[in-house]
Homo-oligomer: A and B are copies of this chain.
């Protein structure tokens, strides 16, 4: 497991692939984002932006979280503080999502000697290398040894 001392700006992490199935897209959207372009393949074709069934952006985000838990082995876990995210294009049935993660900032806490804030940039891409979600995430990371 990684502590603050183990991380450096520029470190990269890569996840496995996660395949988005029709059933999972409809199940997630049915519970959390029941808009027609996420749950009805026929009606989604007529939508001016989506032009076909698309996963909820929050489903893409949830899958990204799953992949982070697998490829970012931070001690005490991933404790999110804030996140900025955008969805350059929709996630479609059959897309296989993988993450490219890069650490872009590390700020030791000025008030607490056992922790710091780490910022990482994530590209969640499909099998064709297209960005489905791009996010900047700030997490709290503990030190192995307080300074």
Give me the interface of A with B, judged by CB distance under 8 Å.
28, 31-37, 47-50, 56-58, 61-63, 65-66, 69, 76-87, 140, 142
Task: Kindly report how many copies of this chain are found in the complex they form together.
Answer: 2
Partner pick for A66 among B31, B82, B87, CB 8 A cutoff: B31
Q: Are A83 and B85 in contact (CB under 8 A)?
A: yes
Compute how far the CA of A146 lies from the CA of B93 in the bound complex, rounded to whole angstroms.
Answer: 33
Compute how far the CA of A88 lies from the CA of B76 in the bound complex, rounded to whole angstroms.
Answer: 18
Partner pick for A84 among B33, B56, B69, B84, CB 8 A cutoff: B84
Closest 5 CB pairs of A and B: A82-B86, A32-B62, A35-B77, A84-B84, A32-B66
Contacts of A80 in B (CB 8 A): 57, 87
Q: Are B79 and A86 in contact (CB under 8 A)?
A: no
Q: Are B142 and A66 in contact (CB under 8 A)?
A: no
